[in-house]
């Protein structure tokens, strides 16, 4: 038999959602065959065409949906000259058709249980009706948002009952001793019994070889759509003697902002749009400055490289809450954007170059946890189908 897995992410801002799913896909492909005796194949549903530049595991393929973005007015089409209702209807139809024909044994939806404007409703109802043996998982990052904001979002979705109707389990990709969304009020009480904390998805990520001249320090701002300010301050920072500075601005940074970062760069600072692999760079860097996105933080925490996290503080409070919690645990340093000027970044590089970070006492093994969790869910779902068949 072959296990069929679908991982879905809505991907309106940055690459964080799909990168998280991609890490999970690699982990499942590595470990599920030994646990189940079955080959693994899968699809990665994404709203970011640039995601296909990342290598999918053998036996997996990408399904790219029409892309959306979000601004002050809410969601809108990123490229098509079409209203958001038409674009989400297209996305909904594609997802439903793919899942119907693919017939997954496991579906993992990242962060937003029903997608953009409830675009996943049709696919989720279809799976429950036509393929009840498919185990369904809602994957949540370690931090959602301020509790009041998170509670309002869950209410708008229909609360715990609406989520329970379509999902068998909730995986929280974090360590509850660092931050616990069940204790903070970010998750409805009616969903607490579905939750398993996996640990951070840190150790076990694949890293590609990188060609860069040592020694160097690194600044990365993820996709780059809102990282220009931090990138400019980092580019202005003086580099420790004997070191180079690589500033990765991200493929989604507007060209005008990229130009301003390049103009700010000091001697021995190189500004590039993107790199094949941030993790490979983080492992070799003497120190890292980054925003507080989940994947970047996990990648650096899987190394012993010191990191200064400058979190995004508009739109959501997620990155700030994560940075504060991890700094309290001793895993990172953090400055607010107002504090992280060029002088502060210079001081961080000067203090930490030649130093190493220790991150003991934090569960960084989430990628080792997901395959056993998936194997049990799939087995339980199949057993439930057999019981139902015998009852009929």
Q: CA-CA distances (angstroms) from residue 356 to 10, 238, 240, 319, 373? A: 36, 21, 16, 23, 33
**pLDDT tier for residue 210 given thresholds of 50, 70 and 90:** confident
CATH number of the domain bearing residue 165: 3.40.50.2000
**Domain around 257:** 216-352
8 Å CB contact between 224 and 252: yes
Write down the pLDDT at residue 252.
85
Residue 235 and residue 165 in one domain: no
Could you tell me if residue 208 is inside a domain? no
Tell me how crowded residue 272 is: count the other CB atoms within 10 A of its CB: 12
Residue in the structure block whose two tokens are 């220790």:
358
**pLDDT tier for residue 277 given thresholds of 50, 70 and 90:** confident
Q: CA-CA distances (angstroms) from residue 176 to 72, 90, 141, 167? A: 32, 38, 11, 21
Residue 112 and residue 12 in one domain: yes
Residue 185 and residue 334 in one domain: no
**pLDDT tier for residue 387 given thresholds of 50, 70 and 90:** very low
Peptide bond before residue 282 is cis, with ω within 30 degrees of 0: no
Q: Mean pLDDT score of the chain, rounded to an integer?
A: 94
Tell me how far apart the alpha carbons of residues 285 and 137 are, in angstroms, rounded to a whole number. Answer: 36
Return the structure tokens found at 372: 């056993």
Write down the pLDDT at residue 384.
82
Tell me how far apart the alpha carbons of residues 297 and 302 are, in angstroms, rounded to a whole number. Answer: 9
8 Å CB contact between 42 and 21: no
Torsion of CA 341, 222, 311, 196, to 10 degrees: -160
Residue 179 and residue 259 in one domain: no
Residue 53 and residue 185 in one domain: yes
Residue 160 and residue 33 in one domain: yes
Tell me how crowded residue 392 is: count the other CB atoms within 10 A of its CB: 5
**Count: domains in the chain:** 2
Tell me how far apart the alpha carbons of residues 221 and 337 are, in angstroms, rounded to a whole number. Answer: 12
Q: Is the confidence at residue 388, as pLDDT, over 70?
A: no
Residue 13 and residue 107 in one domain: yes
Could you tell me if residue 236 is inside a domain? yes
8 Å CB contact between 51 and 18: yes
Write down the pLDDT at residue 391.
43
Could you tell me if residue 273 is inside a domain? yes
Residue 342 and residue 373 in one domain: no
Element (H, E) at 368: helix 366-391
Residue 21 and residue 105 in one domain: yes
Residue 226 and residue 197 in one domain: no
**pLDDT tier for residue 211 given thresholds of 50, 70 and 90:** confident
Tell me how crowded residue 184 is: count the other CB atoms within 10 A of its CB: 17
Q: How large is the average pLDDT for residues 230-234?
A: 98
Write down the pLDDT at residue 385.
60
pLDDT in tens, 283-325: 999 999 999 999 999 999 999 999 999 999 887 899 999 999 9
Write down the pLDDT at residue 392.
36
Residue in the structure block whose two tokens are 């389990």:
169
Q: How large is the average pLDDT for residues 171-192?
A: 98
8 Å CB contact between 318 and 145: yes
Q: Is the confidence at residue 11, as pLDDT, over 90?
A: no
Q: Is the confidence at residue 370, as pLDDT, over 90?
A: yes
Could you tell me if residue 209 is inside a domain? no
Residue 58 and residue 180 in one domain: yes
8 Å CB contact between 172 and 197: yes
Residue 369 and residue 347 in one domain: no
pTM of the model: 0.94
Could you tell me if residue 384 is inside a domain? yes
**pLDDT tier for residue 386 given thresholds of 50, 70 and 90:** low
Residues 6+ apart with CB under 8 A from 110: 7, 8, 9, 10, 17, 18, 20, 21, 139
């Amino acid at each position: 038999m072959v296990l069929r897995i679908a991982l879905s992410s809505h991907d309106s801002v940055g690459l964080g959602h799909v990168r998280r799913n991609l890490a999970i896909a690699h982990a499942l492909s590595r470990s599920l065959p030994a646990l189940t005796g079955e080959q693994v194949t899968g699809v990665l549903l994404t709203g970011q065409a640039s995601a296909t530049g990342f290598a999918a595991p053998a036996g997996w393929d990408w399904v790219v949906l029409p892309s959306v973005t979000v601004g002050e007015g809410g969601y809108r089409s990123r490229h098509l000259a079409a209203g958001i209702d038409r674009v989400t209807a297209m996305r909904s139809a594609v997802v439903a058709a793919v899942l119907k024909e693919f017939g997954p044994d496991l579906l993992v939806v990242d962060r937003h249980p029903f997608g953009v404007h409830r675009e996943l409703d049709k696919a989720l109802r279809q799976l429950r009706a036509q393929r009840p043996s498919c185990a369904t998982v809602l994957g949540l990052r370690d931090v959602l948002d301020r509790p009041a904001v998170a509670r309002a979002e869950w209410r708008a979705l229909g609360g715990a009952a609406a989520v329970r109707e379509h999902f068998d389990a909730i995986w929280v990709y974090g360590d509850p001793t660092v931050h616990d969304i069940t204790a903070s009020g970010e998750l409805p009480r009616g969903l607490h019994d579905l939750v398993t904390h996996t640990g951070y998805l840190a150790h076990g990520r694949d890293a590609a070889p990188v060609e860069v001249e040592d020694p160097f320090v690194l600044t990365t701002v993820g996709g780059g759509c809102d990282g220009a300010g931090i990138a400019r301050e980092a580019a202005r920072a003086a580099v420790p003697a004997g070191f180079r500075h690589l500033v990765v601005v991200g493929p989604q940074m507007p060209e005008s902002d990229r130009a301003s970062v390049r103009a700010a760069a000091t001697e021995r600072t190189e500004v590039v749009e993107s790199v094949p692999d941030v993790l490979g760079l983080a492992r070799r860097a003497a120190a890292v400055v980054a925003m507080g996105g989940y994947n970047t933080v996990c990648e650096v925490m899987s190394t012993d490289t010191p990191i200064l996290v400058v979190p995004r503080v508009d739109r959501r409070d997620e990155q700030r809450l994560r940075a504060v919690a991890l700094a309290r645990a001793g895993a990172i340093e953090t400055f607010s954007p107002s504090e992280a000027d060029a002088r502060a970044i210079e001081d961080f590089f000067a203090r930490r170059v030649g130093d190493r970070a220790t991150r003991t006492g934090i569960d960084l093994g989430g990628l080792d946890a997901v395959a056993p969790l998936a194997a049990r869910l799939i087995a339980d779902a199949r057993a439930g189908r057999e019981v139902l068949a015998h009852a009929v």
